[in-house]
């Protein structure tokens, strides 16, 4: 098979972590026998400062002909807060209708588990975050700006279609896990319109009698994720709550440096990225942890159908952390960015036979 991948390395530490991700992609293709073509895009702060352009709409015509996109990080302190993130990251999510943001939270080894009396096996969940509506709809605005009467409105929008498709996706994911358990996280007590989620969850759930379900309000879910992480298997939630819960979840898996995500529309071009940001102060220092991007490459390969290569990448990372050959998951000490990438490249499929 041959694939076409678009690459947006972006800002800050984006280019250095993407470089390692691409090294792993290259090695995986040789071991697992697939081919690919890359097209790299310059979008990000430098491109914006030089041209005034965030991302041209013609880029979407190219993306739609690809199998997947890999994104490093977007965001730069020199530029208006959130402008590039909204236009590039959220732009891709909304325009390509990538309605699932899939965020696995698996702790790779006991010694990186941050919770007292819990071990790696207690932390194994999959967050399915709605990715194209909710508080990110960008519907709203400000009125009487910079006056004492200023009014700011930001709408949360939930559609029946948007809610149902992400809930159904989560049930399908739950069918694949050993425990077949799905928790819905919302705040339908205080935000009554989220009752649409409650009703849709119940209705779709009837089609999946083999999946056990429960429910938690988002505040309680934050508490349970620390207190009883083993209670969670698959979790489905709104866009904003999923954003917040998965930063919390990243700590349970060893830190932001290992948390990967996929922005997915099943069967269509989808976008894969680490969940961390551009971390401008680490830019160019060869200190950032590339594992999140490497794991995102794994998720990207799974999406295009290279599930053996995907599993190889994940297993290799887990093994390197568990054996402490990668001693530290933070960006403050331990190995350099490129050394981590090299280790993964060397260790990939050390047990499988090359084709």
- Distance, in Å, from the CA atom of 124 to the CA atom of 236, rounded to the nearest integer, reads 15
Q: Does 90 bind ligand IPM (CB under 6 A)?
A: yes
Distance of CA 324 to the CA centre of its chain: 25
**Residue 69 Cβ, how far from ligand IPM at the closest point, in Å?**
14
The residues in 263-322 that bind ligand IPM, with binding defined as CB under 6 A, are 275
**Residue 299 Cβ, how far from ligand IPM at the closest point, in Å?**
14
Considering CB distances under 5 to 8 angstroms, the limit depending on partner class, which of Mn ion, ligand IPM, none binds residue 85?
ligand IPM
Sort residue 284 into left (φ over 0), alpha (ψ -120 to 50) or beta. Answer: left
- Distance, in Å, from the CA atom of 99 to the CA atom of 325, rounded to the nearest integer, reads 37
* List of residues 6+ apart from 33 with CB closer than 8 A: 355
Active site positions, annotated: 136, 187, 219, 243, 247
Interface pick for ligand IPM out of 20, 67, 85, 314 (rule CB under 6 A): 85
**Residue 241 Cβ, how far from ligand IPM at the closest point, in Å?**
11
**Residue 346 Cβ, how far from Mn ion at the closest point, in Å?**
32
- Distance, in Å, from the CA atom of 280 to the CA atom of 277, rounded to the nearest integer, reads 9
- Contact window for ligand IPM (CB under 6 A) among 12-20, 83-91, 203-211, 281-289: 83-91
The residues in 213-252 that bind ligand IPM, with binding defined as CB under 6 A, are 243
Distance of CA 151 to the CA centre of its chain: 33
- Contact window for ligand IPM (CB under 6 A) among 84-92, 149-157, 169-177, 189-197: 84-92
- Distance, in Å, from the CA atom of 175 to the CA atom of 209, rounded to the nearest integer, reads 10
Interface pick for ligand IPM out of 89, 112, 185, 309 (rule CB under 6 A): 89
- Distance, in Å, from the CA atom of 143 to the CA atom of 153, rounded to the nearest integer, reads 8
Binding footprint of ligand IPM on the chain (CB under 6 A): 85, 89-90, 243, 275
């Amino acid at each position: 098979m041959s694939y076409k991948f678009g690459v947006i390395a972006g800002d800050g530490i984006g280019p250095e972590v993407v470089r390692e991700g691409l090294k792993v992609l290259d090695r995986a293709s040789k071991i697992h026998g697939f081919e690919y073509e890359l097209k790299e895009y310059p979008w990000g702060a430098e491109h914006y400062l030089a041209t005034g352009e965030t991302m041209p709409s013609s880029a979407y015509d190219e993306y739609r002909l690809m199998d997947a996109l890999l994104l490093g990080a977007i965001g730069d302190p020199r530029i208006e807060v959130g402008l590039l993130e909204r236009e590039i990251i959220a732009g891709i999510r909304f325009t390509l209708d990538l309605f699932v943001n899939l965020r696995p939270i698996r702790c790779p080894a006991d010694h990186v588990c941050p919770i007292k009396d819990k071990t790696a096996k207690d932390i194994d969940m999959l967050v399915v975050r709605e990715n194209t509506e909710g508080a990110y709809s960008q519907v709203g605005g400000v009125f009487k700006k910079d006056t004492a009467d200023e009014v700011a409105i930001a709408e949360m929008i939930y559609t029946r279609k948007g809610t149902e498709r992400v809930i159904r996706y989560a049930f399908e994911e739950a069918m694949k896990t050993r425990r077949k358990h799905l928790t819905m996280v919302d705040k339908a007590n205080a935000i009554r319109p989220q009752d649409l989620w409650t009703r849709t969850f119940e209705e779709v759930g009837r089609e999946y009698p083999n999946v056990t379900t429960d429910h938690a309000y988002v505040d309680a879910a934050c508490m349970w994720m620390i207190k009883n992480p083993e209670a969670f298997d698959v979790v489905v939630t709104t866009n904003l709550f999923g954003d917040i819960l998965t930063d919390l979840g990243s700590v349970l898996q060893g830190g932001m440096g290992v948390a990967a995500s996929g922005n997915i529309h099943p069967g269509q071009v989808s976008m894969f990225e680490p969940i961390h940001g551009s971390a401008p102060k680490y830019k160019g220092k060869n200190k950032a942890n590339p594992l999140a991007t490497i794991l995102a490459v794994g998720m990207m390969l799974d999406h295009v159908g290279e599930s053996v290569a995907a599993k190889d990448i994940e297993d290799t990372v887990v093994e390197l952390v568990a054996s402490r050959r990668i001693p530290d998951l933070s960006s403050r000490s331990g190995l350099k960015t490129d050394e981590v990438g090299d280790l993964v490249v060397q260790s990939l499929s050390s047990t499988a036979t090359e084709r």
